[in-house]
Amino acid sequence: MKIITSIFIILLLCSLNSFPNDIKITQYSITADFTKDSNSADITAECIFKKDSALTEFILLLNHGVKIKSIDGNYITPFAPWMVKIDHKFKGKDSLLIELPQNFKNHADVYIKFQYSFPVNIYTDSINVLDRGHRWYPIIPDNIAPFKLICTIPKGFTSFCVFNLHENIINGTGYEHTWQCTYPVFKIPLIIYREYIYSFYDSDFSGKFFGLHYFKNDSLKADTIIQKAKGILNFCNNYIGAFGYHEIKYIEIPGLEGMNIGSGIIMAGANDLKYISNGYYDALYLTCIQQWFGARVFAKYGSPGFWLLSLSLPHYIRMLYIKESQGEEAFNKELTGRMEKYEVFAGTEKDVPITDIDYINTQEKGQVLYIKGPYIFYKLHMLMGDEPWHKFIRELYVEYAGKVMSLDDLKSTLKKYDPDDKILEIFRDTGKKLGLI
């Protein structure tokens, strides 16, 4: 089977410097109809923007292969059902320049309706994944927002998104699926496939649900994967805080290399699921933890410390679960045993500070995040002590769930447990010595 897919978490092709910080999308309402044309989907994306009142031009990410039918909008007032044409043009690949009328200038809240066709053919045995990397809906890179998605698909197909599904049958010819989330998310993935492809195995954890979707011809140890997932999910629910969504969907995607993380959804390549099924649980544990720190508390992309917060912190929490489930010796092996891989390139030009890592495009960068990053949190944990550290982690989650957190935000929360800055000073000093911060 073929696949259309995207890359791990968020790898933007455009520099964030091209996008203003004084505009954001606060709400999406999207309809996608896959029944009218075998080679495209008709999409209407209604977006509410909050902007600096003086701003009249800004850039959005949208796939340059779309055929735009119209873009209309208004500034939001109690008496504004009227719509005007919004000028627009593509400036480079996937960069759409929006030019608002001058009378929008003194208004902060703007509604824009995008109508276009998106090139995609679902009438195959392929699994079609439309993800953030495909720019299938208008995007501001460092933006989170709630959404509602109504997807119309033909009979014999089904759709897969995040959060609650409401299904209507359309005269026996197809389905209308409504997906909605009132919490902000950083991406809206949509997977469409023929109904017969997947087997499904689900179970509950802490009153929520974990569902594993895998290919019917796979010889996975589904029950083992489910039990291992429940162990780490229950740990996170108790250690970090109550899981923020109704369920987690873990879905096998052919051709995907690595894991693709979204809020309430984890896409796994076939090889990765085989590794997990064969007893290598690191990736399963990590991606489940990232449902708390990564896909519920969002690290600020493009800022110093993004990878430290979105990858190294979950790795350290994974090590704490190893300690609880397997004992102190297993934890110490995790902490010190991996350092041998790092010491091979320690102090060389490949040994980069975490705050300088923009993309994980070398093995060494991955090892810096996987080995040195968790160590800095271990040192912080030891400086604080078990009880203050545990309270600190839980407070981070409560404070920033559904929000974007920066390294400065982490330090600000840490200061509550360190009024004299003694711990923070040692934290900074240790980080500098390790080339982390």
What pLDDT, on a 0 to 100 scale, did the predictor assign at position 428?
A: 67
What pLDDT, on a 0 to 100 scale, did the predictor assign at position 11?
A: 35
Indicate the helix (H) or strand (E) that contains 85.
strand 84-85
What pLDDT, on a 0 to 100 scale, did the predictor assign at position 82?
A: 83
> pLDDT by residue (tens digit) across 323-350?
999 999 999 988 887 777 777 777 777 7
Task: Measure the CA–CA gap between 367 and 375, rounded to whole angstroms.
Answer: 12
List CB contacts of 56: < 8 A, sequence separation 6 or more.
99, 100, 101, 102, 104, 105
- Residue 20 CB burial class (10 angstroms; 0-12, 13-18, ≥19): middle
Over residues 133-155, the mean pLDDT reads 94
Total residues found in the chain within this entry: 437
Over residues 410-430, the mean pLDDT reads 80
Last residue of a domain, one of 294, 317, 339: 294
**Which of 349, 390, 345, 405 is CA-nearest to residue 371?**
345
> pLDDT by residue (tens digit) across 220-240?
888 999 999 999 999 999 999
**Structural domain containing residue 429:** 299-433
pLDDT(185) > 80: yes
pLDDT(167) > 70: yes
For residues 156 and 205, state if they share a domain.
no
For residues 240 and 371, state if they share a domain.
no
pLDDT(246) > 50: yes
For residues 258 and 320, state if they share a domain.
no
For residues 82 and 120, state if they share a domain.
yes
> pLDDT by residue (tens digit) across 145-166?
999 999 999 999 999 898 777 8
Over residues 247-261, the mean pLDDT reads 89
For residues 152 and 256, state if they share a domain.
no
Indicate the helix (H) or strand (E) that contains 427.
helix 422-433
The token duo for 222 is: 């589904």
> pLDDT by residue (tens digit) across 36-80?
888 999 999 999 999 998 899 999 999 999 999 999 999 986 666
pLDDT > 70 in the chain, percent: 91
The token duo for 214 is: 């895998």
pLDDT > 90 in the chain, percent: 56
Q: How many domains does the chain have?
A: 3
Alpha carbon 205 to chain centroid distance?
Answer: 21
Contact 310, 290 (CB under 8 A): yes
For residues 180 and 264, state if they share a domain.
no
Contact 117, 67 (CB under 8 A): yes
Output the domain CATH number for residue 419.
1.10.390.10
Where do the DSSP E strands lie in 302-422? 404-405
Task: Measure the CA–CA gap between 309 and 131, rounded to whole angstroms.
Answer: 23
pLDDT(360) > 90: no
> pLDDT by residue (tens digit) across 397-419?
999 999 999 999 998 999 898 87
What pLDDT, on a 0 to 100 scale, did the predictor assign at position 243?
A: 92
> pLDDT by residue (tens digit) across 73-113?
999 866 667 899 999 999 989 999 999 999 999 899 999 99
Mean pLDDT of the chain: 86
pLDDT band at 19 (very low <50, low <70, confident <90, very high): low
pLDDT(321) > 90: yes
For residues 41 and 176, state if they share a domain.
yes
Contact 241, 397 (CB under 8 A): yes
| CA within 13 Å, CB half, 319 | 25
* Within a domain: 289: yes
Task: Measure the CA–CA gap between 219 and 200, rounded to whole angstroms.
Answer: 13
List CB contacts of 108: < 8 A, sequence separation 6 or more.
50, 51, 52, 53
For residues 125 and 268, state if they share a domain.
no
* Within a domain: 423: yes
